[in-house]
Amino acid sequence: MSNWEYHVAQGVSYFRCNLLAGFSHAFFTRDCTDYSLSELTQCLSLEAKPYRTKQVHGKIIVSPSEMPLENTKLVDGDGLCSDGEKQALWVASADCTPILIADVRRGKVGAVHAGWRGTALSILPSAIAHFLSHGSQLSDLRVALGPAISGEVYQVSEDVAIDVGKSLFPDRSSTEILEQLWQVQPSPLFPDTQGGKVRLDVRRVNYLQLQNMGFHPEQIAVSPHCTYQQPEHFFSYRRSREKAVQWSGIISNA
């Protein structure tokens, strides 16, 4: 089981995951909202250059070499995969899942923003496919699913759950998808008292997507932290309707 450690350094607080040991990375908390990405990058490395995208809840994967040289105009995308050394890849989130990826053999990294829409579109499998098409071996990849809203408090419509479930059971009917989601153990669904609603664990669905691709449990870490239930550490749009985010990032070694 992977450990998640809380750190405070240089006046900022963040969580680290030991599955990504050997890679400078952080899942920053709400305390860092006034810091620029350049400043947050310097907390991890004085040499790295930060990269981010305009997140659109899609499945577009981009690399730094595809971005404008000055990185002033943000390109659309919800996933980044490194293609050089000392690249700091960043994603913003409030309740969506920030996902950091590392290739422990080649030193490449990735960062993914996975809300329910991106998860329904298989944004994480798309990022993994990018790694594999650029020379990575699946057995060398490590994936950390960061702080996000927990399933037991994330109410969605059954239609949303079905849309997300299609990423796991693409050939099933809507009724069959719901049945299959309930049957998975542990299930990504929780009951809700309101008709036509369920509670959805988006992180669990991303885990199952990785499992379907052939990942072993020891290659995946899931944060125990909930953005909705831990206001002392995290912003949560579902909790406060406030448009504020925390940043998660990782730096490539090669």
> What pLDDT score was predicted for residue 249?
98
How many C-beta atoms lie closer than 10 Å to residue 132's C-beta? 13
Fold of 4-149+203-251: CNF1/YfiH-like putative cysteine hydrolases (3.60.140)
Q: Quote the CA–CA distance of 37 and 47 in Å, as a whole number.
A: 13
pLDDT tens digits, one per residue of 209-240: 999 999 999 999 999 999 999 999 999 999 98
pLDDT digits (tens, 9 = 90+) for 94-118: 999 999 999 999 999 999 999 999 9
pTM of the entire structure?
0.96
The structural domains of the chain, with segments of one domain joined by +, span 4-149+203-251, 155-200
Six-digit token pair at 100?
Answer: 């950091």
Q: How confident is the model at residue 172 (pLDDT cuts 50, 70, 90)?
A: very high
Tell me the mean pLDDT in the region 20-25.
97
